[in-house]
């Protein structure tokens, strides 16, 4: 594991969350959703790298949560609201490649989860 790689993942993740908040305020919901997904994905990879020295090369938020749960059972808390986690995971493809528009309310729920639930659990781990 490279400490520098871990720091870069954490810094990028936090920048994606900040960018998501700014894009949400500007009404750019599709890109805000994508940035929320990137925040979650990179934070999970960061935690896995710190705890195990590596992380799987996948984009699946749910898969990454399950991997992290093998190392720290507290990560399983992130799956309590599987519907919102699935919505965040789907934003990786949906916001980039599909002719789909994200609504304010759904991105607001994703952002709330990322800031109130996801971030709190990440800080615990």
Give yes or no for residue 1 having a pLDDT over 80: no
107: confidence class by pLDDT, cuts 50, 70, 90? very high
Q: What is the per-residue pLDDT across 14-36, written as a single tens digit (0 to 9) for each? A: 999 999 999 999 999 999 999 99
- Over residues 49-104, the pLDDT tens digits come to 999 999 999 999 999 999 999 999 999 999 999 999 999 999 999 887 888 899 99
Give the mean pLDDT of 100-117.
Answer: 97
Q: Give CA–CA dist 21/74, Å, rounded.
A: 26
- State the residue range of the domain holding 77: 3-124
Q: What is this structure's pTM?
A: 0.96
Residue entry with tokens 């990879």? 45
Burial track 89-102 (b if 16+ CB lie within 10 A, e otherwise): bebbebbeeeeeeb
Please give the Cα distance from 11 to 98 (Å, whole number).
28
Q: Which of 14, 12, 19 is nearest to 34 (CA)?
A: 19
Q: Is the alpha carbon torsion for 53, 55, 61, 62 positive or negative?
A: negative
Which pLDDT value is given to residue 2? 80
| Number of structural domains the chain divides into | 1
Domain containing residue 100: CATH number: 1.20.120.330
């Amino acid at each position: 594991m490279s400490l520098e790689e871990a720091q870069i993942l954490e810094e990028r993740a936090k920048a994606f969350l900040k960018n998501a908040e700014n894009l949400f305020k500007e009404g750019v919901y599709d890109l805000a959703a994508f940035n929320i997904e990137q925040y979650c994905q990179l934070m999970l990879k960061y935690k896995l790298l710190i705890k195990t020295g590596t992380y799987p090369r996948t984009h699946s938020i749910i898969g990454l949560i399950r991997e992290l749960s093998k190392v720290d059972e507290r990560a399983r808390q992130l799956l309590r609201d599987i519907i919102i986690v699935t919505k965040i995971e789907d934003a990786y493809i949906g916001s980039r490649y599909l002719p789909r528009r994200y609504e304010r309310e759904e991105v607001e729920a994703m952002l709330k989860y990322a800031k109130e639930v996801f971030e709190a659990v990440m800080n615990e781990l």
